[in-house]
Structure 1
Amino acid sequence: MGMATYRLIRKLAAGGMAEVFLAKVVGAEGCEKSVAVKRILPSMARDREFVELFLREARLTVCLQHPNVVQVLDLGALEGQYYMVMEWVEGENLRALQRGAAARGLLLGLREVCFIVQQLAEGLAYAHGRVDAAGRPLNIIHRDVNPSNVLVSSRGEVKLADFGIAKALNAQSGTQVGVVKGRAGYLAPEQVKGAEVDQRADLFLTGLLLYELLSGRQLFQGTDSFQTLRAIAQFDVRRLVPLPGVPAALWSIITRVLAPEPAARFHRARDLADALRDFLSDHRLRVGPQDVAALFQRCLPGRRSLLEGVDGGSPEALGGEIRLGSDVGLQRPTPLTSVRSRPPFLGGPRPGTPTPVRTQTEPGRVAVPAPPTRTGVLELATRMRPAHRKLGEMLLVFGKVSEPQLRGALERQRCSGGRIGELLVAEGLLSEEDVVRALSEQSGLPFISDRVLRTMPVPRVLLPLLPLEKAERLEVIPVSQQAGVLVCAMREPRDLARLDELKLITGHAVRGIYATQSALRRAIDRFYRGEAVERAGESRPGGATSGGEAGDREKAALGGTGEIGRAARWHSRVVDAALAMLGGAGAWGSLLASLARDVAGRLGAAPAEAESASAVAYALALAAFQESGGRFTRPSLEAVRAILGRDSEELDGLIDACARDAPPLPATTPKAVLALAAAVAFLEEADPALLGASDVSQALARLRAAGRLPAPALDALRTEVMARVTAESKGVRAPALVSAPVDSATLASS
């Protein structure tokens, strides 16, 4: 187009980030043509993320020239503001068409709907199939197909618009797994669940549009965005009731394209477009642009074109002119570099996922060069960017906690304060790593898993940069160095003050990544002290166990070797002694507590979870002693809660699973709850005396036959009790399986 001049006529729309104008391109000898101009607001021109989003949309769309895709004609910057020039579509979007039909009590005809969606699929098929100059597929994914982004002209043309969050998979840009982009009601299940997204997500969104146009209602529309996201995540197309008046052949297309699993959908947009065209042909439904144009007139009679009265003498004409050079616009007006283009650290966010790129939930802004201006001033934006999605909502949508569990934790948080993630971990509902993963997905920052921190080579060359006492105080570990930037695993990588302190200590720019507190402590011991710290409850290679294995697991579950760990062990011994002095059934508490702790360790529960299970175990033993006496039977909920007190609501999950009339537990039950339930079930099944290996095997077999415990809990229980039997047979001091009655004299002599 060369150097073009655009005269702005009228502002059509404005949002928080950009505004759109009707404009005319002025050519030679007064020739004019209507265009649409999108301009970034001055306040957003310094926002790196939005500028890159804007430029990506233009770069992707400028290469798309198809009757069913809105084309970008020009791109450039003028006096610090970016502009995108697009073809003008004289018409409305599908949302306006739907509203017009609803206001007049009209139904969108089946053949017109099928034609509109078929044309949309044609545009997607073209975009999906585009290749670069070298012939490599661009693998474009639109990811935001919804009625507002489908334009219908007054002449019946259908065009897909707004590639603002589109993505080319082989480009440098991308989206971190787990970050949701798109509108709440128009997302594919894999987008909501945080899985990898490919072009089949666009087909699901097209299916949503087809269903909505035929039914007159949006398929996913909850009371709020959170409810909507959960409905999408749990969607089962088999429960969808066929729409009245929709032929079976068309309903088959709808259910296939709306399959929750991408593999069950059409493989390509071309296949969907062909299926709809064949349906129209097979049912002899002749339809074309002229029929859509007639529908447009029925839905929007008397609509006034926005082009009317916009000549130069109109009072509505803005009169402003911009002059862009397409040779500048089609390249990159200002090279924008970002730390987001660096390769991720080897430990996060998930093995085998694409390079993570921080999205709009990134907690901090990076300095961004402003577009070319007359002053050339570089402005820095350093304010924290708030996360847009609450941690609790993410955990619920992704199935980590149930709605009652989250609601209860939020109530307790309002009363006692604290962080929701820490509360859920303390209650045994989540592991520490579950929370770290969710925080990583929420913030867009990578995380390093416990396993990687436990097995990675010690970065000896980096340790002198951060002395041991600093690492312990800040709970930070250096793990790698990339292009002069020190990558550190830490609990809170969004803490700017801590990052600044680390920069001062190490003399390097520091990039933080998430890690759990327990993994950081073990890594500090391994990196700096050379200690081989094993995870609580984890067997050595080959399944062999050391003579002091049970004691080591107990020590780890009680908080390690620090002052808190020693205090917890002393407290445990005092409680055991008090129970033993009760005589007879009072000794149940010692067994239940130690067995619950060690089974929790074998299941991989965090130390805090294991300690909660231990506390409830003591309460169960005391309540059972009060209610029964001779043989252990599960106590009532009221008896257990009377011992633990009214402020024990955070332990309800443990109590409910182990008290009288508790239902069978699913495999998704938190690990600490499974461990305590397994210990309780074993004590119910075993006779109150020291058991041999054959007796233990028979008790475990009866538990397996009962089917009340999931297989992982039974396996961990079997491993633990058999390890105790073996240790005792070798004369190794280990917690007894079932303690015999103990009196004060026996206790004193021990």
Structure 2
Amino acid sequence: MTSAGEPKAVDPLLGRVVLGRYRITRELARGGMGAIYLARSEGAASFVKPVVVKSMLPELVGDEAAARMFKREARIMSMLRHPGIVSVFDFGREEQSYLLVMDYVHGFHLGRWASWTLQKRGDVPVVLAVQIVVQVLEALQYAHTLVGEGGEPLRIVHRDVSPSNVLLDTDGHVRLADFGIAQSGVDAPDVKTATRTVKGKFSYMAPEILEGADPSPSSDAYAAAVVLHEILVGRNEFRTSSPTSTVGRVLTHVPSRLDEVRPDCSPELADVVEIALLKDPRKRYESAGDLLKALRGVRGMAAEEASALLTETFARDFRDPSLPAMFELPELDDLERAWRAPMPTVSSSPPAPLSIEGEGSEPSRPSDGPTRGGTKTRPQQPALPAPAAPSRAGLWIGASVAIVLVLAGIGAAAWWSQPPPAPDVVYVEASPAGIEGAPVETPTAPTETTPPTETTPPTETTPPTEATTARETTPPTERRRAVQRAEPPDEAAAIQRAFATHTAEIRRCFASAPPDATHELVLRFSIDTSGSVQRVELSPAEVASTAPGQCVIQRARAIRFPSTSTPRSFRIPIEVRSR
């Protein structure tokens, strides 16, 4: 993890719109495998909604094991639709990083709330602890028994049930998060082999897992029982400062009976938890459903009353400024303002590698509080001020199109353009005109570790770059030859033709645009070698969030480009005008 005393570099993702509609507003957590951001989904008619974006580090995309885990998490979470499980909305690849878009839970994780409660108010009330774990078990039972479209059992096992992966919100909801190391019964054989590696937190791991058994619904139920015991006792009796010692205690230590530690715990509840924590899986509850049924019977309060008490308690406690202050976190009101506040549009150049250090598993959520050996998350800087409003209200209507193709791996770019014809009423046009000119990189620039950047025509306020100087000083014939050496023109022309076949559809997106409006838009594409669109983004963001902008993005995603020799990224600037 990044240490507190180190200067924090500006995160290149902040303020950016990723995957076409999610604006990154604030960092929530980061660690050795990735970063978690607060973002907002921007739609038509000023629609905004808070979401969380989980980003895989660009330098880990080439790590097959890390990429496989990230993609598996997205695939497994996409199967799960339950109020007690964090939902996933989107998954894609932005430049060099995979991104997973999920529910934003407006609250704290169980480990932090329980640790704060213990210090601020005393023991966690028994009925609240039981109700929280009951809801966790409901989510687990759903995942364990879920079937696929063909009726085949999916057998999803979480493998990482712990307080930091149980999220609580101000409305009293309890949600299970982080399926990053989950196991599915429909995994490919090579993935199943990989998932047999011991993964998770030792102090919540069932003894048989440490002895080589496969994860199972029973081991998930065991972990939930460990969480309940920890919350009620105030500590995890298996955890020590040494992993080896922790494993030894998991295999040999018999946890304290709850009614001997907490006089307010009934003997019946103590019996249930004692059975759930037995070393022999054959003597424990066989499934999450079995433990769920047993806990419901000893809860001591009707489900409706227990849920109402959770809502009342979380609404009160989560507004207490001493809770986030204890963990050096921003207050929830600050996060609310962060995702609601407008931010300036940031160009969609490839993100620089995030500065993330340390070790441990991928931090889908911050870990447990200080009393549980967790990592503190520093409050981030407030959101940037709002951008200046556009000078014109109308931003639509078509004109000419030029394509800038950034050549993957070698950093050269080809630019096709032609002067815009006089607009009729509404139109978008992509011309198959020949190459007019292009900036050319020398053989020494850039290397594979330096991602190519898109070059744009210089303005009066922008000093000419090396690329633009080359375009101005190189004779047209030499520029044309240089571009042809860098990239076969057949691929470029084929890309132009493919886009041209969809201009009528894009033109219809602006059918109701206001008259006498002009604006410059940019469509940015990333495609794989088969020509399938992997990412598309429309800028500026104030257009992308409107109904016409969303229409353009939807049409652009449907374009099937021709096959290319390598994956390509390119942009299509569109000057839109009406009369």
TM-score, length of structure 2 as denominator length: 0.53
Report the AA paired with residue 20 of structure 1.
Answer: I
Residues 136, 248 of structure 1: alpha-carbon distance in 2 compared, 3 angstrom cutoff: same
Which entry has the higher C-alpha Rg, 1 or 2?
1
Residues 259, 11 of structure 1: CA spacing in aligned structure 2 closer, same or farther, 3 A cutoff?
Answer: same
* Partner in structure 2 of residue 259 of structure 1: 278
> What is residue 195 of structure 1 aligned with on the other side?
213
Aligned to 1:48: 64
1:169 CA drift (Å): 2.5
Structure 2 unaligned blocks of 5 or more: 1-18, 325-330, 350-404, 411-446, 450-579
Match of 1:308 in 2: 336
1:186 alignment counterpart: 204
Question: Is contact 2:171-2:315 (8 Å) kept?
Answer: no
- How far apart are 1:179 and its partner, in Å? 3.0
The answer as to whether partners of 1:101 and 1:107 remain within 8 angstroms in 2 is yes
1:229 corresponds, among 244, 247, 271, to 247
Post-superposition shift, 1:128? Answer: 0.7
CA distance in 2, matches of 1:226, 1:322: 46
Q: Specify the code of the residue in structure 1 equivalent to 2:54.
A: K
Tell me, yes or no, if the aligned pair for 1:178 and 1:191 is still in contact at 8 Å. Answer: no
**1:24–1:223 distance in 2 versus 1, CA, 3 Å:** closer
Task: Please state if 1:206 is matched with 2:224.
Answer: yes
Cross-structure match for 1:170: 186
CA apart distance, 1:310 = 2.0
**What amino acid does structure 2 have at the position aligned with 1:78?**
E
How many residue pairs get aligned? The number is: 327
For residues 222-371 of structure 1, the aligned pairs below 5 Å read 222-236=240-254, 242-245=260-263, 246-280=265-299, 287-297=305-315, 299-300=317-318, 301-302=320-321, 304-305=331-332, 306-310=334-338, 317=343, 319-320=345-346
Partner Cα distance (1:75, 1:322) in 2: 18
1:28 pairs, out of 37, 44, 52, with: 44
Q: Show the counterpart of 1:159.
A: 175
Residue of structure 2 equivalent to 1:727: none
Hey, what's the Cα distance between the residues in 2 that align with 1:111 and 1:273?
Answer: 14
| Secondary structure, counterpart of 1:262 in structure 2 | coil
- Partners of 1:218 and 1:118 lie apart in 2 by 19
| Alpha-carbon distance change, 265 to 321 in structure 1, aligned in 2, over 3 angstroms | farther
Deviation for aligned residue 1:240 = 8.5
CA gap 1:377/1:234 in 2 versus in 1, 3 angstroms: farther
Residues 178 and 193 in structure 1, CA contact (< 8 A), matched pair in contact too? no
Q: Counterpart of 1:116 in structure 2: which amino acid?
A: I
Q: CA deviation at 1:102?
A: 2.7
**CA, structure 1 residues 307+113, in 2 after alignment: closer, same or farther (shift >3 Å)?**
same
Q: Which residue of 2 aligns with 1:111?
A: 127
After superposition, the Cα gap between the structure-2 partners of 1:176 and 1:191, relative to the gap in structure 1 and judged at 3 Å, is: farther
Q: Which residue of 2 aligns with 1:600?
A: none
Q: Which has the higher contact order (CA 8 A, sep 6+)?
A: 2
Residue by residue, what CA displacement relative to the aligned partner does 1:621-662 show, whole Å, maximum 9, x if unpaired? xxxxxxxxxxxxxxxxxxxxxxxxxxxxxxxxxxxxxxxxxx
Q: 2:96 aligns to what? A: 80
What residue number does 1:129 align with? 145
1:49-101: CA deviation from partner (whole Å, max 9, x where unpaired): 11111111110011111110001110001212110000111111011102211
Counterpart CA distance in 2 for 1:200 and 1:115 is 20
Unaligned segments of structure 1, at least 5 residues: 324-372, 382-750
Q: State the Cα deviation string for residues 590-626 of structure 1 (Å, max 9, x = none).
A: xxxxxxxxxxxxxxxxxxxxxxxxxxxxxxxxxxxxx
Work out whether 1:6 is the aligned partner of 2:22: yes
Decide which structure has greater helix share. 1
Match of 1:147 among 163, 166, 170: 163
CA distance 1:255–1:239, shift in 2 (3 Å): closer
Q: Counterpart in 2 of 1:66? A: 82
Q: How far did 1:238 drift?
A: 9.0
- Which is further off, 287-296 or 205-214? 287-296
* 1:92–1:151 Cα contact (<8 Å) kept: yes
Distance 1:276 1:194, change over 3 A: same
Aligned pairs (5 A) from 1:529-544: none
CA contact (8 A) 1:7 1:321 kept: no
Confirm whether residue 57 of structure 1 aligns to residue 73 of structure 2: yes
Q: Secondary structure at the match of 1:140?
A: coil
SS in 1 for 2:203: coil
Q: Output the TM-score relative to the length of structure 1.
A: 0.41
1:15 and 2:28 matched: no
In the alignment, what sits opposite 2:8?
A: none
Q: What is the CA–CA distance in structure 2 between the aligned matches of 1:93 and 1:63, rounded to whole Å?
A: 23
1:308 alignment partner AA? E
Residue pairs, 1:637-716, within 5 angstroms:
none
* d(CA) in 2 for partners of 1:204, 1:150: 15
Q: How much has 1:291 moved relative to structure 2?
A: 1.3
Higher strand proportion, which one?
2
Shift in alpha-carbon separation, 1:249–1:93, aligned structure 2, 3 A: same
Aligned AA (1:262): P
Q: 2:37 touches 2:54 (CA, 8 Å); kept in 1?
A: yes
The alpha carbon displacement at 1:290 in A equals: 2.9
CA contact under 8 A between 1:5 and 1:322: conserved in structure 2? Answer: no
Q: 1:438-453 to 2 correspondence within 5 Å?
A: none
* One-letter identity of the residue aligned with 1:8: I
